[in-house]
Amino acid sequence: MPGRQFSILFISRLNTFVLIVVLLAMAGVLAFSMYRLSLPEQLNLAYQDTRATVNETLAGQLNGYLSTGEATLLTAMEDTVRELNEVKLAQFPQDIQTAIAAPLQTLFEFMRTDLRASGKLSGNTQQLLQQNEREISDQLSLLSGYARKGMEDKPEAAGEYFVKIAAAYESLLGLSEKRENYFRTSDASLYETVTSSHRQLVDNIAALSGLEPLGVMSEKEEDDFLSMLTGESGSDAEQYDLVEDYRSELQSLSGRYLRELDNTRQIIENIHNSHVRAEQLLTALTSAISDVRAVIDAQRERIVQSVYWALGVSVATVMILALVFAFIQARIARRIQAITPSLRALANGDFTDKQRIASRVKEIDSLGRSSSELRDYLSQLARTITDQASSVVAVSAQMKALSSALTDKIDAQNDLAAMCATEVNEMSASIRDVAQTTQEASDSASRATETVKAGQHAMTAAIQGMNDLQDSIGHSNAVIAQLQKDSQDIEKVLAVIQGVAEQTNLLALNAAIEAARAGEMGRGFAVVADEVRQLAQRTSSSTDEIRGIIDKVMRGANATVELISRQGDISRAAAEKNQLSGHQLREGETAVATIYQMSTVIASATEQQSTVADSVNQHIQKISSLSDESRRAAEEGERCSEQLVAISGQLQQLVDKLSL
C-alpha cells in the first residue's frame, strides 16, 4: 500500500510518549502554580513580619528612647532599621521595596540627627534646674556655717543671717515645688508662678548680700608652682571675708536659673516635636507598609487567574488527546475486525475468498498478507494431501507384512541371548571369588603400611624434638654469654659509680671543713655537706651490694652452662640412635609398600575382569530386553499400519469436503 506505514508498537509508544509529556507538563504547571500561589503567602508572611517589626519593635524602641534617652535603644533602633532595609524588604518585589524604602530612609535620617539629639536630653529634662537648685542649697548651707562661725563676735548680725537664710531656703523649696508642677502638667499658666518664686528667691539672696560681713576671714589660695617661679613666699597671701564668695556664687546661680529654665522649656519642646515627628514618620512608614497588602492581594488575584487558565488549558489538552487516542484505537479495531470473516472462512475449509486486507498499520497489513499466504498454503496443502492419501494406504499394507516377519526373527534372537547370559553369570562368579581373596591380602598389606608409617612419624617427631632441644641449648648458651658480657659492663659502671662516690665523699669532707672554718655562717652549708657525704657512703655501700649480687648471678650462669652442655651431649647421642631406627623403619615401610602395590594391582585386574563380565552380562540382558521391546514395537507397528489404513480413508473423506 502506498504511503508510510506505522506499527502498533510505534503508535502505542507515541501515545505513551505524548501522554507522559502531557502529564509532565501538567505536573510542571501544577508545581509552577503551587509555587506561584506560595509567593503571595510568602509575601503576606513577610508583610506581617515587617508590620510587626515596625509597629511593635521599632515603635517601642523609639518611645523608650525618647522617654529614657538610653543610647542602647538608639543603637537597637538603627539595627532594626538596617534589618528592615537589608533583610525584611529583600523579601518583597522591587516596586514594593521602592515604596517602603523612601519613608524608611527618611526615618533613618531623622534617627541619626534630630532624634539622637532629643534623646540625649530626654533622660532628665530638668537636670540643669535641679543641679542649680542643689548648688544654691549648698551655698546656703555654707553661708549658715559662716554665720555660726561669726556668732561669737557678732551675734546679732549672725542672727539676721539665719533669718535671711531661712527665708531663702523657703523660697528655694517653693521654687522647686512650682517647677515640678509646671513640668509635670505642662500648664503654661504655671510658668508665672515659677518666675514669681524665682523673683522671691532673688530678693532673699539680695537681702543676704546687704547684710554686714561677720569678719570670718580666709586666705586666698595661691598657686604653689607660681610661688616657686616668682620666689614669693606664701606668708604674704591676701586675706578676705568668706561671705564674698558665698554672695557672688548665690547671685550667679540665681541669675542663671531663668536662662536654664528657658533652656529646659526649649529642650522639652524639642523632645515633644521630635516625638511628633517620629510619630508622623512611623505613621508614613506604617501607611506605606499597609499599602503593600493591597498590592499583595492584587498579585494573588492575578496569580490565581493565571493558575486557573493554565489548569483549564491542561485539562482541555488531556481531553483532546484522549479523543485522538480513542479515534486511533477505533480505526485499528475496525481494520482488525475486517480480517475476521476471511479467517472464519479458512477455519470452515473455504479457500475461495481472495480478498486482500491492506492498511497503513504495519501489523494489520502484515496480518492481511499472512492470512492470504495461509489461505494459499492451506489450499496447496489440501491438494498435496489428496494426492498422497492413496500412496499412504499402499505403504501401510507393506508395513504390516514387514512387521510380522520382524516379530519372528526377534523371537529367535531372544533364545540365543538367554543361553549367553547363563554362561557369563557362571564366569562372573569365579572372578568375584578371586577378587575377594586378593582384596583381603591388599587390606592386610595396607594395615601393615599404616603401622610402619605411624612408627616412622613418631620417630621423626622424636628426632625433631631432639633437634629443637639442641637449638634451645645453643640459644641458652648465647643468652648466658650475653648475660656474662652485660655483667662485666655493669661491673665497669659500678666501678665508675664507686669512684664518683669516693670523690663525692672527699668533696663533702672538704666542704664540711670549709663550713667549720666559716663558723656560724657556714652551718647550713655544713649540714648540706654532711648529707652529701652520707649519700656518697650509701651509694658506695649499694655499689658493693650490687657487685655481690652480680657475682652470684655469674656463678649461677656458669653452672647453668655446664649443665646445658651435658644435656646437649646426651640429646645428640639420642638423636643419632633415633635416626638409625628411623632408617630401618623406612626400609620396612618400602617392603610393605611393595607388597601392597602388588596386591593392589592384582585386585585391580581381578576387579576389572569382574566388571567386564558384569558389563557383558548387562549387555546381554539389554539385548534381550531390546529384543522384547523390538517384538512389541513390531506388533505395535502392525497395529499402527492397520490404523494408518483407516486414517488414510478418513483423511480422504475430509479432503473431499474442502473447497479448492
Query: Which range in 14-18, 218-222, 410-414 is most confidently predicted, on average pLDDT?
Result: 14-18
Specify the pLDDT at position 2. 47
Confidence of residue 293 (pLDDT cuts 50, 70, 90): confident
Q: What is the mean pLDDT of residues 542-552?
A: 75
Give the integer Cα–Cα distance in Å for 475 and 558: 15
Residue 88 has pLDDT above 80, yes or no: yes
Specify the pLDDT at position 41. 79
pLDDT digits (tens, 9 = 90+) for 206-228: 999 888 888 888 755 545 554 55
Lowest mean pLDDT segment, chosen from 202-206, 408-412, 506-510: 408-412
The CATH number of 363-657 is: 1.10.287.950
Residue 305 has pLDDT above 50, yes or no: yes
Specify the pLDDT at position 226. 47
Q: What is the mean pLDDT of residues 58-83?
A: 82
Lowest mean pLDDT segment, chosen from 81-95, 165-179, 455-469: 455-469
Q: What is the mean pLDDT of residues 173-183?
A: 91
Burial 19-43 (b: 16+ CB within 10 A, else e): eeebeeebeeeeeebeebeeebeeb
Specify the pLDDT at position 235. 46
Confidence of residue 270 (pLDDT cuts 50, 70, 90): confident
The total of other beta-carbon atoms located within 10 Å of residue 516's CB is 13
- What percentage of the chain carries pLDDT values higher than 70? 68
Burial of 236 (0-12, 13-18, 19+ CB in 10 A): exposed
Q: Which residue is listed with cell 511593635?
A: 56
Q: What is the mean pLDDT of residues 6-14?
A: 76
Specify the pLDDT at position 202. 93
Give the integer Cα–Cα distance in Å for 301 and 293: 12
Higher per-residue pLDDT: 433 or 97: 97
Q: What is the mean pLDDT of residues 523-532?
A: 71
Specify the pLDDT at position 171. 93
Please answer whether residues 276 and 62 qualify as being in contact, where contact means their C-beta atoms are separated by less than 8 angstroms: no
Specify the pLDDT at position 560. 62
Residue 229 has pLDDT above 80, yes or no: no
Whether the CA torsion 361, 366, 367, 368 is positive or negative: it is positive
Lowest mean pLDDT segment, chosen from 242-256, 587-601, 617-631: 587-601
Q: What is the mean pLDDT of residues 565-586?
A: 69
Please answer whether residues 104 and 85 qualify as being in contact, where contact means their C-beta atoms are separated by less than 8 angstroms: yes
Delimit the domains of the chain by residue range: 8-119+284-328, 124-219+236-268, 363-657
Specify the pLDDT at position 162. 94
Report which of 382, 300, 260, 295 is spatially closest to residue 100, judged by C-alpha positions. Answer: 295
Grid cell in block for residue 659: 473447497
Lowest mean pLDDT segment, chosen from 101-110, 222-231, 314-323, 618-627: 222-231
Residue 175 has pLDDT above 60, yes or no: yes
Q: How many CA atoms lie within 13 A of 426 on its CB side?
A: 4
Residue 272 has pLDDT above 60, yes or no: yes
Please answer whether residues 535 and 504 qualify as being in contact, where contact means their C-beta atoms are separated by less than 8 angstroms: yes
pLDDT digits (tens, 9 = 90+) for 114-158: 777 666 655 567 788 889 999 999 999 999 999 999 888 889 999
Give the integer Cα–Cα distance in Å for 124 and 505: 86
Work out the mean pLDDT of the chain and round it to a whole number: 75
Residue 442 has pLDDT above 70, yes or no: no
Domain 124-219+236-268 has CATH 3.30.1560: no
Confidence of residue 425 (pLDDT cuts 50, 70, 90): confident
**What pTM, to 2 d.p., does this model score?**
0.36
- What percentage of the chain carries pLDDT values higher than 90? 9
Confidence of residue 199 (pLDDT cuts 50, 70, 90): very high
Q: What is the mean pLDDT of residues 60-64?
A: 81
Confidence of residue 427 (pLDDT cuts 50, 70, 90): low
Q: What is the mean pLDDT of residues 461-474?
A: 69
Query: Which range in 64-73, 360-369, 457-466, 642-651 is most confidently predicted, on average pLDDT?
Result: 64-73
Confidence of residue 385 (pLDDT cuts 50, 70, 90): low
Q: What is the mean pLDDT of residues 168-185?
A: 91
Specify the pLDDT at position 424. 56
Residue 446 has pLDDT above 90, yes or no: no
